[in-house]
Chains A and B, each alone.
Chain A
């Protein structure tokens, strides 16, 4: 496998970074947490202009029909910049489900970003994220897809994730099980990419801080104990990344190993991002533990994403089942 990002994808990543770097995302995230979704939805609109909402919609409906690797590039940027909102649900999960089962908002509106969908998909995602901004709530249960009503709100450790119970209304439409499984795997992959981006950002923040904060007459980044902890984060993220891109290739090729590979990516990115968050907090000390300093937004986001779309234990069990079956 010649396994490198094309210039086109690098360019896409750079444009997203430029847009999101200037968009005041942490402030929008705080407003989102406080119930004001205005600035966050403005970011949604601008990302839609760049094609993010159209990625997985078929070209016949104004979408891009993009590859899973493009989704990874986009979601790594969303994670790096802490963008709030039901992007996995609306951009990755919903398009193939609605294309297959019909119902819900039109695919054209999804592609344009004018319709937002959220979904619950038990057991991996038992609650619907950000149903308060969604035009439709779906429940994917096995290969049955239902429209649902927004139920009771539940509180997440990540205050910018507003979670809701979803009550199916009416009989579920039956989906091709392969379509349902593929959509779920793509959602897990997008979550892995988000974790990777969030982990990279936590590391970058910690490295920057370690290079400027002085204690005992030297910057703390000169101390070997700090260096080694940050180096371990670099190692963990560097070896989680190829699993994410490898899973994107598997999913794009329709490989029978796609489910295994996506689960491997999710387990590894959860661990790597968690190590990044813990190490970044330890590097910062008390300032990192405060509400007003932005690092905490990434720490709580990573903690939430680590168990969203399947816990590490769930995904390890899935990997183990697949590989033990394969070794005969």
Chain B
């Protein structure tokens, strides 16, 4: 189906397409969860920002283009179609920035948004703790008031913090009022990862690269200027971030459509003769197309002023499983060579690397079990019960 674009949208898409064709690196960058790859990806963020393509939906004052949601989706489609690299700045751009725009002080926006947009400062999220994964209300890391210095003192441990091994700054929730119950008494803090008292211990992922880390806090001082939103209001602030993460903003359809197109190419090279694999390839393409159309239907709802709410959980379940399915189908086509990675592997091992990355989708941003509970209770209206 053809998109019904107006002149401005068509011009935007064409400009993006032309710029990307000229600037996307010809060969893949090294894995961004290595020191070398991290720097290469930061440099790419700077190139994107110089062309004002790093944060198209932001205001022009912060290096954006004031793009509409539809234009953002168009950009993402072009980005992935052009084979653009993974975005090392994504945590900041898609999780923290919407909060800074909504809850941040003018000073915080001035201080943080531009360095985020051009890759000067890369952010890591610090939400999960050893005893609190999807259940953020069970957080224990503490923030104690330090009236004399005008700020807070953080103690405790965070874990599964993506990008933290190399990132510059972190954002996360700390329990600032130990007497308040679960969701209450949490405060949202911004902090440098090289601050005194912060220890970052990288954790290698399935692929062997330090993609996430534990962060230890020992009497780390954070001034009031780096509290995001009101003290004690961190849960509400964080939940608007979670809504962004689980809903539309993290996963534009371009990524899956581009992967489905690559899968078709692979099928033509390797698949002929297997009807069963052909069915899986067709299903993967159909599902990517479904995701694209679903996204446009969601955009139409948002344009009408409807809120997406718990349907974001429906969306998250679908894209995270679609991503796994797309890659598993490609690996099935590669047969015995599927296990190979790196130089000499088919497609330089991109399918296996993509598969390992996709495996994390059903786990992060609230596990799919949590999402299914949300769908059952808030979309279908089933009773909550005791669990």
- Residues of chain A whose beta carbon lies under 8 Å from any beta carbon of chain B: 1-4, 203, 207, 210-211, 218-219, 221-224, 226-228, 230-232, 234-235, 238-243, 245-246, 249-250, 253, 255, 257, 261, 264, 267-268, 313, 316-317, 319-320, 323-324, 327
Contacts and interface: CB of A to CB of B under 8 A. Distances in A.
Contact of A211 (B268, B286, B375, B383): B383
Given A1-B3, A255-B2, A323-B285, A222 B386 contact: yes
Contacts of A234: 314, 375, 379-380
A242 B382 contact: no
B297 A4 contact: yes
A270 to B, nearest CB: 11
Contacts of B380: 203, 207, 230-231, 234
Contacts of A210: 382
B297 A245 contact: yes
Interface of B: 1-4, 261, 264-265, 267-268, 275, 278-279, 281-283, 285-287, 289-291, 293-294, 296-297, 300-301, 303-304, 311, 314, 317-318, 369, 371-373, 375-377, 379-387
Nearest to A203: B380
Give the 4 A-B CB pairs with smallest separation, nearest first.
A222-B385, A227-B376, A242-B293, A316-B282
A233 to B, nearest CB: 9
Given A1-B1, A264-B285, 19 more contacts: A1-B3, A2-B300, A3-B300, A4-B297, A211-B382, A221-B376, A224-B373, A228-B369, A228-B372, A228-B376, A231-B375, A231-B376, A242-B290, A246-B293, A267-B286, A268-B287, A317-B282, A319-B285, A320-B285
A279 to B, nearest CB: 12
B279 A316 contact: yes
A268 B286 contact: yes
Contacts of B369: 224, 228
Nearest to A327: B264
A235 B297 contact: no
14 contacts: A3-B300, A223-B385, A224-B373, A228-B372, A231-B375, A235-B375, A239-B287, A264-B286, A267-B286, A313-B275, A317-B275, A317-B279, A319-B286, A320-B282
Nearest to A228: B372
A255 B375 CA distance: 35
Contacts of A230: 376, 380, 382
A234 B286 CA distance: 18
A219 B383 contact: yes
Given A219-B383, A327-B265, A238 B286 contact: no
Contacts of A1: 1-4, 296
A316 B289 CA distance: 13
A73 to B, nearest CB: 15
Contacts of B286: 243, 264, 267-268, 316, 319
A324 B379 contact: no
B384 A222 contact: yes
Given A224-B387, A231-B372, A324 B2 contact: no
Nearest to A257: B1
Nearest to B276: A313
